[in-house]
Structure 1
Amino acid sequence: MAHAELDRLQVCLNFALDTLRKEMDNSQLPPLSQHSSVEHPQAVMLYTHKCLTFMNHPLACLGELKNLIQSPLDKRMDDIFSAYSSACMDTLIKTSIIDHLSESSNPSEGIAVAELASTFELDSQKLVPILRFCAANGWVRETRDSSFALNRCSRIFIKGRTGRRLNLSFLSIVRVMPAWVTESDWKLSRSPAQTSFQIAFNTPLQQFSWIQQNPQALIPLADHLQVLGDMSTPSIVADYPWERLETPVIVDCGGGKGGLVTAILDAHPSFQAIVQDMENVVVMTGSLMKERRPHDIESGILKVEAHDLFQSQPRIGNEYSFILRHILHDWPDKEAAAILGNVARALGPKSKILIIEMVAVPNVDSTATRSAKSFLLDSDDKRPNYCIPSHFGAASKLVNAFSVNMLSLMNGCERSLREWESLVNGCGLRITNVYPLRAHTSVIECALDV
């Protein structure tokens, strides 16, 4: 009996894993292990483009295998209960159980739930299912019956580590999304003030206006966004050809805490930089920059200024190039075009706009058979065909998750290259190049269309 799809995926998975193993060896990376008590360089270094490609292949294969093998009802139950994965990890972080496990005198053995319950004055009968669900999702290890230890992944949540700042919960927005899309008075609206966010928070304000009136939400949001930015910052600095820019000043529009421009200045000290953001944000950013880069602030190399993206860009002419990172995906086309148009009107002939966003790939052939040479480095035509989604399936799930999240928050979305071209061309610009990064994002380089 022929098992065509299963056979193709098995061959593809084996080939992808073998190639990944070789590329990791060539890059002198240690073996991956969930049992290691030492963090893998994967969390802090930039892989080669080739290595990242061959990480996507097995992830795509595994996603397709799960779709092929798993019962549809089990798959649906997985979806329904997936919200508990985030809630369980949040519980371990909020209680500081994660930190306590990290301080275990015997990391390989872990700590018994009875001891955790006693230490934190919690109910052991609640902790066991929570920890086991975390273990099933690959976040901790159950070393023996009802004893748990950290693994490689969970170390990112230890106090002071990056993952700790990914702290926003979207559950209230998720719950109301189906009714918003199908039943609400706003189901045909594309306004950023008529979304799941307004329903969940019982407010007429769009998200950013609501944050301005609820400043207690600003710091956790800024921390959350900084982590998302930091995930791509090393690749942006390394993979875009900054030396080709003909303008001496880089303006980061909506630049938050200034992490990106400071990284660029460290790597390319010939530039000057300006961080622009909302007034309540730049107060925090200005204070941080005076503390961390006092010389740059005093000398004028780095400036921080308030600017509303929906107002005319005050920095005009050949002296400036502009960054819009994770800005335009927040907004529907009308508002995105207004923001981009304001920057476009400020450009000189030598200026560039660098749109740093995810580029969605339409999954038009997710079940089609594709030639191996379309995604493998070996172009031998005698190799069998494989079933791999055009957008790498499970390996690109995050892009689609971001898109739905932006939709629910602001009626925004992650755009395909065709959609980016339409938006850019409509603002009197042209795309001069697209630079894929060793991250989920790309740099879409734009200039005046003259």
Structure 2
Amino acid sequence: MNDAGEPEESHESGGTNESGEAEGRRSAALLIEEALGFLFPAALRAAAEVGVADHLSDGPRTPADLAKATGTDADNLHRVLRLLATRGLFEEDDQGRFRLTRAGDALRSDAPVPVRSAILMITDRTMWLPAGEMTRCLKEGTSAFDRIFGMPFFDHFTQDAQTAAIFHEGMASMSDAENQPIAEACPFPEKATVVVDVGGGHGGLLLAALRTHPGLHGILYDRPHVLAGHRLDTPETKGRWSVQEGDFFTAAPPGDVYLLKRILHDWDDTQCMTILSNCRRAMRPGGRVLAIDAVLPQDNAPHQGKTLDLMMMASLVGRERTEADFARLFAEAGLRLTGVVPTGTVLSVVEGVA
């Protein structure tokens, strides 16, 4: 107070205001940078689509050389690669040549674990366009896919063979890096067991399971057009597998263990209960379900499942789930959750028994 009893001007208050303004500017800069982030996957898709990484196996090349090899514009290709280099996927030298780094090596079609098909699937218009309409999900409480494409996600695939191929090839590519550690982590019984890979696509996980556990016999269960691309026919698995056509919303083959890898996250709770109930009815005494999905932590930590959850929200009707969510789903389908096994990947094995 001054002599007149009035509050004096506080220099500390002014400092606080200045500090607040600085924090506001930092927040604004951060949010703008985050909003621009969508351009990185766009650039990654462009590089994957033209196959630029396949032309860098023998060392660095100039954008002009790469443009001739890929049938692209040299200046614009340079601009795309320059952005990708900021995240360490490529590296530009002092002569203006680009090389592929170890971090970006999986972009090559012939890489030990190639992910080009997975990138093309994740950034396909069936995922990209609904993500841009996410506000619709908030206001209408439903997927944005139907309004854009005129029908649900999987119905669209039945009418667009090219998009279906992108999806199934992309899922197989996305799975290749994770199938082996998941197969090793799965709690399979020691005795000879029939494992049913429900909606197993091209059979990458089942193949890894059969290789890892010689006592297993496998059934790959999926739609006919998907089974046509299966990869189970190898010398080391001869006589230990079969394929069976069907719809997991209708029934499941008899078996001892049911694998559901990245299946439940595609569907809402009611549909998931139908799938799980069909497995429960078909399983032999002592059988179990192994649902392999992201299990979301209930904290603020980053987790790929939290990102994928928004893809499920925008393009499909499913969701990623917490352990409590899985326990509830299992209980309503006549199963009891008995454990969650980490796999060293973003996915966990959620085990349920009758």
- Specify if TM > 0.5: yes
Counterpart among 137, 155, 178 of residue 135 in structure 2:
178
For residues 311 and 253 of structure 1, what CA distance do their matches in structure 2 show? 12
- State the Cα distance separating 1:141 from its structure 2 match: 1.0
For residues 69 and 264 of structure 1, what CA distance do their matches in structure 2 show? 53
Aligned sequence identity (%): 24
Q: Are the counterparts in 1 of residues 182 and 343 from structure 2 also a CA contact under 8 Å?
A: yes
1:138 aligns with 2:83: no
Counterpart among 121, 145, 164 of residue 197 in structure 1:
145
Counterpart among 261, 268, 277 of residue 325 in structure 1:
261
Letter in 2 for 1:210: H
Quickly say closer, same or farther: Cα 1:259–1:119, change in 2 above 3 A.
Answer: closer
Letter in 1 for 2:133: V
Deviations 1:272-297 (A, max 9, x none): 11000012212332xx444x35972x
Whose Rg is larger? 2
Deviations 1:242-293 (A, max 9, x none): 2x355621111011111111211112221111000012212332xx444x35
Counterpart among 235, 241, 248 of residue 193 in structure 2:
248
- State the Cα distance separating 1:71 from its structure 2 match: 2.4
- State the Cα distance separating 1:443 from its structure 2 match: 0.8
User: Residues 108-187 of structure 1 correspond to what in structure 2 (within 5 A)?
Assistant: 110-117=60-67, 120=70, 122-144=72-94, 146-161=96-111, 162-166=114-118, 167-168=120-121, 169=123, 170-182=127-139, 187=140
Q: Are the counterparts in 2 of residues 247 and 350 from structure 1 also a CA contact under 8 Å?
A: no
Letter in 1 for 2:141: L
**Secondary structure, aligned partner of 1:312:** coil
Aligned residues: 325
For residues 350 and 30 of structure 2, what CA distance do their matches in structure 1 show? 36
For residues 198 and 176 of structure 2, what CA distance do their matches in structure 1 show? 16
For residues 434 and 410 of structure 1, what CA distance do their matches in structure 2 show? 25
Q: Are the counterparts in 2 of residues 95 and 120 from structure 1 also a CA contact under 8 Å?
A: yes
RCO greater where, 1 or 2, for CA within 8 Å and sep 6 or more? Answer: 1
1:233 aligns with 2:169: no
- State the Cα distance separating 1:424 from its structure 2 match: 0.8
**Secondary structure, aligned partner of 1:265:** helix
- Aligned residue number for residue 342 of structure 2: 436
Moved more, 274-283 or 227-236: 227-236
TM-score when normalising by structure 2: 0.84
Deviations 1:366-421 (A, max 9, x none): 4xxxxxxxxxxxxxxxxxxxxxxxx3x3xx2x111111111112221110011111
Quickly say closer, same or farther: Cα 1:147–1:196, change in 2 above 3 A.
Answer: same
- Aligned residue number for residue 26 of structure 2: 71
For residues 79 and 199 of structure 1, what CA distance do their matches in structure 2 show? 27
- Aligned residue number for residue 85 of structure 1: 40
- Aligned residue number for residue 279 of structure 1: 224
- State the Cα distance separating 1:103 from its structure 2 match: 2.3
Quickly say closer, same or farther: Cα 1:325–1:119, change in 2 above 3 A.
Answer: closer
Q: CA RMSD in A?
A: 2.4
Counterpart among 311, 332, 347 of residue 250 in structure 2:
311
For residues 228 and 260 of structure 1, what CA distance do their matches in structure 2 show? 11
- State the Cα distance separating 1:121 from its structure 2 match: 5.5
**Secondary structure, aligned partner of 1:349:** strand
- Aligned residue number for residue 14 of structure 2: none
- Aligned residue number for residue 212 of structure 1: 158
- Aligned residue number for residue 418 of structure 1: 324
For residues 217 and 141 of structure 2, what CA distance do their matches in structure 1 show? 44
Deviations 1:19-43 (A, max 9, x none): xxxxxxxxxxxxxxxxxxxxxxxxx
- Aligned residue number for residue 97 of structure 1: 52
**Secondary structure, aligned partner of 1:238:** helix
TM-score when normalising by structure 1: 0.67
Letter in 1 for 2:49: K
User: Residues 314-353 of structure 1 correspond to what in structure 2 (within 5 A)?
Assistant: 314-315=253-254, 319-353=255-289
Quickly say closer, same or farther: Cα 1:208–1:119, change in 2 above 3 A.
Answer: closer
Counterpart among 117, 124, 141 of residue 188 in structure 1:
141
- State the Cα distance separating 1:112 from its structure 2 match: 2.9
Quickly say closer, same or farther: Cα 1:141–1:334, change in 2 above 3 A.
Answer: same
Letter in 2 for 1:131: L
Deviations 1:78-118 (A, max 9, x none): 332222212212222333332222223xxxxx333344445
- State the Cα distance separating 1:348 from its structure 2 match: 3.2
- Aligned residue number for residue 21 of structure 1: none
